[in-house]
Structure 1
Amino acid sequence: MPELPEVETVRQTLLKLVKDEVITTVDVYWPKIIKKPDDVVIFQQLLTGQSIVDINRKGKFLIFELDDYSLVSHLRMEGKYGIYSSDTEKDKHTHVIFHFESGRSMHYHDVRKFGTMHLFNKGEAERSLPLAQIGTDPFEPEYLFEEIFPKIKKSSRAIKNILLDQTIIAGLGNIYVDETLFRAKIHPLRSGTSLTETEGQLILREAKDTLAEAVKQGGTTIRSYTNSLGEIGMFQQELFVYGQTGAPCKTCGSEIEKFKVSIVVPTFVQAVN
């Protein structure tokens, strides 16, 4: 699943490719992807004639800023965007196509069909689900220790589960939580209540630093992730623990062992993670 660095890489790449493009028509081949409005025809009509002014991101969500609307897109497990000429034939996993005035088109490709799209009037997206219920993005100014640590400290859950909870910090998934905790030297099974302020500060700093490093590397390619140009991320070369079972630790040389941390998260987070 694309995590924050992968989604940020997609955002940066797409912005260079589609900024100022004007949408002429939208083809929807799998209506269940469109969550708002609940009428696909209205979704298509509202997007007609809209230009892409900017692309923002919050956590794992892309936000296409249009003239009059904000299109919130979640890639979920396998979602991808690609840019093609408008006469390019769609493949069987392309479920939404945005045709542009320039003669190009943007294809949304999703093998598992888990992705979602919500269309809001300008100014409504941040105040509405799904964005309204997710936590602070690590690259937002509001990513402050005094705001986040109390939420961590009052939870008896394992710190790995807490960091995966998108209502607390937006954008972290298994890869970057594992890497963050290794770098911070905090065991994943430690409860939030057991952490000191110093440990909490270290975790939040390592989370942001790890994500920033991954963004510079174009994200992590574990299975099928590529950006909108078809390029893979390279941060997998920097991983200390995720996917390294049986390999020698880069710090001490001991064999890395894998164990599972049970994950229980709010229903809403399961829907958008």
Structure 2
Amino acid sequence: MPELPEVETVRRGLDSLLAGRVILDVHVHLARIVRQPDVDTFTTLLRGKRIERVRRRGKYLLIDLDGWTLVSHLRMEGRYGVFAADGEVAPHTHVRFRLDRGEELRYRDVRQFGTMDLLPTVELDVHRGLAALGVEPLADAFDETELEGKLRSRSGAIKGALLDQSVVAGIGNIYADEILFAAKVHPERAANRLTRNQTREIVRATKLILAASIEQGGSSVKSYVDGFGEQGQFQFALRVYGRDGLPCDYCGSLIRKGRVAGRGTHVCVACQTPPRGARITSRTGSE
């Protein structure tokens, strides 16, 4: 699933391609992608609308158009691209926005998990997904005090807390592993038992890693490409994710893989000391 750096990279590309363009028509080929309003109303409302800008909130893309906002979540494999309107249409293209200048914005989604909601911009706060989001991790408001407050009542694993979008928006499995490795915090450590310094290191690592990934276009671990169809490059900088059984770049110990919060999790147990009762330890085999 695209995480914050990938969605931000897509946003930047789409904003440069779409700002100021006019939607002439819309064709929806898979109705369930559009959650609200109904498909007929969706297409009618979008015809003739001018795209003002493309924003991001957490993992959501927000396309602002003349008082309305299209809220799009890519989920597992959703992707956007701008193509010549008379060009060949790739399989699994579910929504086509015909633009001025003979082009189309196309949404393609092999897994069909992505969603679109069209709301008046002034009513975005009633969108259930957006309303539930926590602080943006690259914002000044995300600091150790903010994170400590969110973790105070959470006795579960810190990795699960980082994956909870109500704690901090935009972090998924890849970056949770990378952040905790950089902060030298084992992912099974109880969230409300972190020291102040550990919390500070998680915040610091979050900002550095997400910013670095955005700079490199995100991580193309599976099928992700940006708005121009280009792969990201940050996967070549990953220190633990996807490296189970390989030596840690810092200490040489083998990276171990287990499951935390229901997700495959990568750890260097020499750099990230396991808490008592941890399942991922030096005895854990690679999966």
TM-score, with length taken from structure 1: 0.93
Offset from partner CA, 1:25-78 (integer Å, 9 cap, x none): 0000001010111x1000001111111111110110000011120111000000
Aligned to 2:144: 145
Aligned to 2:188: 189
Shift of 1:231: 0.8
State how many pairs are aligned.
263
Gaps in structure 2 of 5+ consecutive residues: 264-287
**Residue type matched to 2:21 in 1?**
E
User: In 2, distance between residues paired with 1:141 and 1:62?
Assistant: 21
Select the structure of larger CA radius of gyration: 2
User: In 2, distance between residues paired with 1:137 and 1:254?
Assistant: 34
**Residue type matched to 1:24 in 2?**
L
Residue 114 of structure 2 is aligned to residue 115 of structure 1: yes
Residue 47 of structure 2 is aligned to residue 59 of structure 1: no
Percent identity, aligned pairs only, is 46
Shift of 1:201: 1.4
Aligned to 2:231: 232
Aligned to 1:24: 24
Is the Cα–Cα contact under 8 Å of residues 24 and 98 in structure 2 kept in the other structure? yes
Aligned to 1:4: 4
Offset from partner CA, 1:139-181 (integer Å, 9 cap, x none): 2343243233211122011000000001111100010000000
User: In 2, distance between residues paired with 1:141 and 1:73?
Assistant: 25
SS at match of 2:235: helix
RMSD: 1.2
Gaps in structure 1 of 5+ consecutive residues: 265-273
Is the Cα–Cα contact under 8 Å of residues 147 and 199 in structure 2 kept in the other structure? no
SS at match of 2:131: helix
Aligned to 2:130: 131
User: In 2, distance between residues paired with 1:111 and 1:53?
Assistant: 28
User: In 2, distance between residues paired with 1:44 and 1:86?
Assistant: 17
Shift of 1:199: 1.1
User: In 2, distance between residues paired with 1:231 and 1:91?
Assistant: 16
User: In 1, distance between residues paired with 2:221 and 2:227?
Assistant: 16
User: In 2, distance between residues paired with 1:104 and 1:141?
Assistant: 38
User: In 1, distance between residues paired with 2:100 and 2:54?
Assistant: 18
Residue 155 of structure 2 is aligned to residue 177 of structure 1: no
Worse-matched range after superposition: 138-147 or 54-63 = 138-147
TM-score, with length taken from structure 2: 0.89
Where in structure 1 do 4 or more consecutive aligned residues deviate above 3 Å?
Answer: none
